[in-house]
Chains A and B, each alone.
Chain A
Amino acid sequence: MSCASGPGGGLRHPLRCREPWDEECEKEAVCVIMCASVKYNIRGPALIPRMKTKHRIYYITLFSIVLLGLIATGMFQFWPHSIESSNDWNVEKRSVRDVPVVRLPADSPIPERGDLSCRMHTCFDVYRCGFNPKNKIKVYIYALKKYVDDFGVPVSNTISREYNELLTAISDSDYYTDDINRACLFVPSIDVLNQNTLRIKETAQALAQLSRWDRGTNHLLFNMLPGGPPDYNTALDVPRDRALLAGGGFSTWTYRQGYDVSIPVYSPLSAEVDLPEKGPGPRRYFLISSQVGLHPEYREDLEALQVKHGESVLVLDKCTNLSEGGLSIRKRCHKHQVFDYPQVLQEATFCVVLRGARLGQAILSDVLQAGCVPVVIADSYILPFSEVLDWKRASVVVPEEKMSDVYSILQSIPQRQIEEMQRQARWFWEAYFQSIKAIALATLQIINDRIYPYAAISYEEWNDPPAVKWGSVSNPLFLPLIPPQSQGFTAIVLTYDRVESLFRVITEVSKVPSLSKLLVVWNNQNKNPPEDSLWPKIRVPLKVVRTAENKLSNRFFPYDEIETEAVLAIDDDIIMLTSDELQFGYEVWREFPDRLVGYPGRLHLWDHEMNKWKYESEWTNEVSMVLTGAAFYHKYFNYLYTYKMPGDIKNWVDAHMNCEDIAMNFLVANVTGKAVIKVTPRKKFKCPECTAIDGLSLDQTHMVERSECINKFASVFGTMPLKVVEHRADPVLYKDDFPEKLKSFPNIGSL
């Protein structure tokens, strides 16, 4: 920029430079100052020779002026607060009427019409989003201006209440950036929500002169009421070139799949009327039509329905006999009966949403709010947010030509499904229709998901109501696979210092045919594991992992050494399990790879006296847990235990040195929703000869502590995920009177 075109020069309006956030203004201002300082510098030396002959006092005066100037400047430097606060006030609280005016010459450029072939990979400049951190696009909002034509006639209303809300919502969100250079998406402040309130050509010219317009690339326009009489186009008529359009009322002909976003037409009643949620279930009317200004043909069809089905169908129209004009939008009439709108919608199971002149109807929002299932009769209409929302779950779409059959179509829907739809309708309204903010953020989220698809929000997150989200489980191992037997399992023995017992366990476990590796987790930091030569010689690799701290969680760490999917966790004192028992347990695990398959079974019970959960190790008829002192499970649960355990359970377990097995049972039951499998009838897991073993297991305090664990975990999980079963798995011929040598697992042990 050259200094000649400095302040006041050119076409720019002087008011422009009040804009604190306008970059153009900034550059101009810099230029003004630079020019000024250069002038002073030039004049300075010229002054000096003239003063040579003057009096001394003159110097002193000059000197003091300079000094004063310096002091003033210095004071100015240390007075920053007043300036900034006044500036803040300027930015934050101004009137819409004071915004700068921009004059659009009649011959300023007009963008091309919207390009129907636009897709994200052709018309969207994704490079602009390359800098955005955390897979989140950054959105810039242009400053508000008032656009006038050559004659000073405004191009449109400066901004509507809703568009102001929308921009505020974006500005308050994580998407917003005030740095135009880092922005990936640009939202003009030119309000095009309603096409009827603007002048098409001039609005297009206003768009084209935006500083980063660049054929509309990465610009997002919000429009809810497109088209105008007589033909009512289904997309905004303003030429917009490559700009994305978030439009209400798209049809299949105008909607650019994967590029545009179909949004709802906001209903101002949403904010005005508070309709409390009404539970699903049958309602007074089966079908209601409450739209006014319907095409006579449609109204005839609806009235025919009412005649045919009587009381259960209600067709309303605007009230003609009411004197108050203002109230009439909140009233509907059928003959001489007057109904409150939108309250009347809550009395109906299904509500008709017919196309009007436009496809998108604000009534859809009212209907959803009332928990009424919308019956959408608008051929080729693209339902709001249809890219992500599953409208089949919340609405019934009926072709226009089938309008006379609508009653029988609706009657064929089972009651359970209707209730599901009613709940879903209300949830859609709460999440995506309720406010302008909800609409704006959902739109940005959709665009964000397109740009960062690997971080996109899932179908369930978009569509499942919170109650379903919380209540459902998503099993991480949902594919019904039977892992090949050949893979085998890795046994992990947690040990501290019971070397003799440990070696016996190792020897026993190594006899199991499917064992592929043995991992000893040495949890004792004060003592080294025995010499290599002392360890039992076994046919599979044996690895000793030394831990940094004596923590129970170490047994569930996802060690890199675990190469098989199946893990056998076994205590260093479980020496009584036979090779047949262990092999059999592995075979059962293969059939249920997503469950804990173990030997010692335990139960949780509700203690009615104490009003809390109780741990039960008695020989009962049911099990809900298997102890990880001897249990098979999928190695993925090690990852979950170590990194995804909810709350502070993991630390709690390590601090108490207890209940890691209960925690694992909770974790697996919670993510899979499935019960454990107890294998073989064995009940006793204490070797008769190991008397030295800490008498913990049956100790009374131990039981109390274990009960406490259950209560603690249940409160952290917010529910009791454990499932009680009454069966266990035995080998097929276990009970049969059959020659032992013909049995696959003859040595299964006894109680």
Chain B
Amino acid sequence: MQSWRRRKSLWLALSASWLLLVLLGGFSLLRLALPPRPRPGAPQGWPRWLDAELLQSFSQAGELPEDAASPQAPHGGSCNWGACFDTSKCRGDGLKVFVYPASGPISETHHRILASIEGSRFHTFSPAGACLLLLLSLDAQTGECSSMPLQWNRGRNHLVLRLHPAPCPKTFQLGQAMVAEASPTVDSFRPGFDVALPFLPEAHPLRGGAPGQLQQHSPQPGIALLALEEERGGWRTADTGSSACPWDARCEQDSGPGQTQRGETLPNATFCLISGHRPEAASRFLQALQAGCIPVLLSPRWELPFSEVIDWTKAAIVADERLPLQVLAALQEMSPARVLALRQQTQFLWDAYFSSVEKVIHTTLEVIQDRIFGTSAHPSLLWNSPPGALLALSTFSTSPQDFPFYHLQQGSRPEGRFSALIWVGPPGQPPLKLIQAVAGSQHCAQILVLWSNERPLPSSWPETAMPLTVIDGHRKVSDRFFPYSTIRTDAILSLDARSSLSTSEVDFAFVVWQSFPERMVGFLTSSHFWDEAHGGWGYTAERTNEFSMVLTTAAFYHRYRPPPCPGIRGSEDQRPPPRTEQGSLDPRNPGSRPRSATSQLWDPGLTSLEFVFSSVKWDGFTSQGWCEH
């Protein structure tokens, strides 16, 4: 019995040992059979093959039979720029646009759009000389649909412009025509061929247009982080403190206290969330842009407006709606620098390309012109930084250094030379003293005398080391602004023969201009003011505390000026009354205009300044003078 008990304990010990052996051994075996799990932090990568050097290259020299290709015909159905647009017609004068006249009674909108195209520098009345034929298809109100025009030619070199999503069925095959359409779906959009337009609300102003809403660079403290677009219209600002996915219907109830703004009010938040599904939401996109609320597009199914040229990553955020947590976290953690940059870009883009129907149309034409120009198109910088491609014309130059706008932006300085252009009107005395004074300037490169009076040209001119050119003018006042090819410098000093300046005054004014090459820098000032009695703008050259103009009888300015183009000038110059000024006319603020005035006159777009520049030290520039009238 005892031995049995002993045996039993022995058995127990034995079996326990067996079990232990099996367990431990099993684990070891397992480790042997299995490779060890990679240690965290050192992932196993792609193996370094011993014979990696011996591997063959993917392409063997001479293997490619490269002489098989013959020019291919474009595939049917789809079009691209090279295949479906004939640029040979545009060779002479660049882009010339013919617009099909309306075939019946047309709406007011239609009429005014026609007028704005006709006012542009691209317009031509002859379909034969045009390289782009434009077909307006926008009669959403009248319900009338355009029919196929005469010179259709399978749509070649045609642009079908649809400002509003057309209710019209496709009455004719588009063929090779380009389509400029509001918010086209990404599936039907042909990149580099079609043009994506913004979705404009019906009431979008045709010209001018309201400026962006942003009054300050950085967001106001305490402004809501998010505004969500409501399906019924309006915006709801959301508190994002607690909610994980404020735009998701499933967790709507957690979205916390929100404020709903109804109607057409603009959102007041840092970010505006816009659904990417419904094309109508695209109009929200513009609203957000105007309000300086950074648009956050959730998986947009439509092409962003003018995406061919506008770098939207600088003004909007396109995010995937399927990753709400990440997107929200990214918005919350976004650096102030990025927010600041995005906000400013929204305003610039709105003001430059979207604030009026006219700007949208001109931008469309500019995009097409850029395609025709190829290498001499606007570089991306010109499209995407102020003042924008509508004002920095690629026909002048494609290099930012040639324009006055980018020196300060890029921290560069314009060249240190100027050309003086002296306009000699009646009575026609040769401005000998003035020539001497200007020629004495160390920055002067050449002097041009524009002889613009009845008297014959004098035969002798004063002896100066400076190259002197005499141009016989046509006795027109605007002659002095003609871009004479003889002018070789960026800076022009425009002078009247009667002006009297000293050399040091010229020198000083020029160094000031170098610091502000995008401005006119002059000696004589004048101002505009709102004349209550006449209900219009008045002009005064009297000495006041502020001024809004300098006279070109003695002023520096940059050689670049956009060629005469009523459309563009109109759109830039004609702004609505300023938002900031209120109340009655302030004697200290002659430039301000009461808001109540309902006259058709627009603010002339001039800003008044209350300061002048003088030399840091009075005697720095000898005989510092102040121009007397």
Contact = CB atoms under 8 A, between A and B. Distances in A.
A193 B72 CA distance: 24
Contacts of B613: 727-730
Q: Can you list the 6 inter-chain pairs with the closest CB atoms, starting with the nearest? A: A673-B411, A20-B35, A621-B620, A171-B45, A171-B46, A293-B66
A539 interface: no
Given A357-B66, A620-B616, A730-B611, A33 B26 contact: yes
B617 A620 contact: yes
A454 interface: yes
B176 to A, nearest CB: 14
Interface range, B side: 35 or more
A129 B320 CA distance: 11
Contact of B376 (A94, A413, A475): A413
Given A400-B82, A478-B409, A732-B545, A292 B610 contact: no
B389 to A, nearest CB: 13
A477 to B, nearest CB: 5
Contact of A458 (B15, B30, B313, B408): B313
B250 interface: no
Contacts of B17: 63, 66-67, 70
A258 interface: yes
Contacts of A644: 337
A123 interface: no
A392 interface: yes
B545 A483 contact: no
Contact of A356 (B64, B299, B313): B64
A252 B610 contact: no
Contact of B314 (A21, A458, A678): A458
B408 A456 contact: no
Interface stretch (B96-104, B105-113, B324-332, B473-481): B324-332
A307 interface: no
Nearest to A591: B609
Interface in B330-359: 330-331, 334, 336-337, 340-341, 344-345, 347-348
B44 A21 contact: yes
A93 B21 contact: no
Contacts of B93: none
B64 A357 contact: yes
A37 B82 contact: no
A639 B336 contact: yes
Contacts of A260: none
B511 interface: yes
B554 interface: no
A731 B80 contact: no
B191 A257 contact: yes
A121 B28 CA distance: 48
Contacts of A678: 616
Interface stretch (B215-223, B256-264, B419-427): B215-223
Interface stretch (A84-92, A491-499, A605-613, A650-658): A84-92
**Which of A135, A160, A675 lies at the interface centre, i.e. has the most chain B CB atoms within 10 A of its CB?**
A160
A244 to B, nearest CB: 15
A644 B59 CA distance: 49
Interface stretch (A102-110, A224-232, A277-285, A425-433): A224-232
B80 to A, nearest CB: 5
A127 B191 CA distance: 28
B126 interface: no
Interface in A45-83: 45, 48, 52, 59, 62-63, 66-67, 69-70, 73-74, 76-77, 83
A736 B612 CA distance: 12
B319 interface: yes
A731 B611 contact: yes
Given A95-B50, A170-B46, A565-B216, A268 B59 contact: yes
Interface in B188-223: 190-192, 214-218, 220-221
11 contacts: A33-B26, A74-B24, A161-B57, A167-B46, A224-B58, A225-B58, A362-B59, A392-B380, A414-B398, A729-B611, A733-B544
Interface in B364-401: 374-377, 379-380, 384-386, 398-399
Interface range, A side: 35 or more
Contacts, number: 421
B28 A736 contact: no
Interface in A708-751: 725-736, 738, 742-745
A121 B67 contact: no
Contacts of B2: none
B82 to A, nearest CB: 4
Nearest to B512: A727
Contacts of B326: 130, 135, 452
A196 B57 CA distance: 13
A69 B33 contact: no
A471 B543 CA distance: 43
Nearest to A19: B35
Interface in A407-459: 409, 412-414, 416-417, 420, 451-456, 458-459
A697 interface: no
B524 to A, nearest CB: 12
A302 to B, nearest CB: 14
B58 A161 contact: yes
B614 interface: yes
B20 A194 contact: no
Interface string A658-669: 000000000000
Nearest to A75: B28
A292 B66 contact: yes
B601 interface: no
B620 to A, nearest CB: 4
A194 B59 contact: yes
Contacts of A29: 30, 33-34
A66 B14 contact: yes
Interface in A247-270: 252-253, 257-258, 265-266, 268
Given A565-B218, A587-B610, A121 B46 contact: no
A634 interface: yes
A502 interface: no
B463 interface: no
Contacts of A400: 71, 82
A88 B347 CA distance: 58
A500 interface: no
Given A453-B320, A727-B615, 4 more contacts: A459-B311, A478-B344, A679-B611, A725-B515
Contacts of B340: 476-477, 636
Contacts of B408: 475, 673-674
A120 interface: yes
Interface in A389-404: 390, 392-393, 396-400, 402
Contacts of B331: 454
Contacts of A545: none
Given A160-B55, A162-B58, A485 B580 contact: yes
A40 B18 CA distance: 9
Contacts of B65: 229, 293, 357
A97 B51 contact: yes
A52 B511 CA distance: 114
A619 interface: yes
A177 interface: yes
B220 to A, nearest CB: 8
A36 B26 contact: yes
A726 B616 contact: yes
Interface string B1-33: 000000100110011011111111110111111
Contact of B63 (A63, A196, A481, A735): A196
Interface string A331-357: 000000000000000000000000111
B36 interface: yes
Given A59-B10, A357-B68, A70 B411 contact: no
Contacts of B547: 732
Given A119-B186, A178-B43, A593-B217, A294 B543 contact: no
B183 to A, nearest CB: 16
Contacts of A40: 22
Contacts of B19: 44
